[in-house]
């Protein structure tokens, strides 16, 4: 099961209220862990819907264009909004083990057992 990590990059300073709102939305979703491919699709659709709401809420500003690209050979995908925001999804390759190991005890040995 693939997991993805979302990282947001702001490319320019906000030009109007719509781009400012889009960048705030980007800050909210930055550093999000997405659990599987289906969750990624839902995440992208929700983000696209939020961008459409921002476009509708600021009729005097030019509409921001939304695009999504996926590069399977590199294990990443990204979505961009106009020229102000890019969210990159990196595939998680390695994770720390679930159990909490005591690395100090592993390196130093069990001192209680050594004392006996």
Q: Where are the domains of the chain?
A: 4-115
Residue 71, strand partner residues:
76
Q: Which of 47, 53, 57, 33 is nearest to 81 (CA)?
A: 47
Task: Please report the pLDDT score of residue 107 as a whole number.
Answer: 53
| Interval 52-64 mean pLDDT | 92
Rounded Cα distance between 25 and 92, Å, is 23
| Mean pLDDT of all residues in 22-46 | 92
The predicted pLDDT at position 28 comes to: 93
What average pLDDT is seen over the chain? Answer: 83
pLDDT of residue 13: 84
Per-residue pLDDT, averaged over 78-83, amounts to: 87
**Is the distance from CB of 44 to CB of 53 less than 8 angstroms?**
no
User: Given pLDDT bands bounded at 50, 70 and 90, which one contains residue 22?
Assistant: very high
For residue 93 the two structure tokens come to 């390759």
């Amino acid at each position: 099961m693939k997991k993805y990590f979302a990282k947001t990059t702001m490319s320019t300073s906000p030009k109007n209220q719509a781009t400012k709102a889009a960048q705030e939305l980007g800050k909210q979703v930055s550093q999000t862990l997405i659990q599987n491919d289906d969750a990624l699709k839902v995440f992208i659709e929700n983000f696209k819907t939020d961008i459409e709401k921002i476009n509708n809420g600021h009729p005097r500003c030019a509409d921001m264009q939304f695009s999504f690209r996926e590069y399977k050979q590199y294990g990443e995908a990204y979505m961009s909004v106009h020229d102000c925001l890019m969210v990159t999804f990196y595939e998680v390759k390695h994770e720390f083990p679930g159990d909490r190991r005591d690395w100090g005890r592993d390196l130093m040995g069990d001192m209680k057992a050594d004392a006996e």
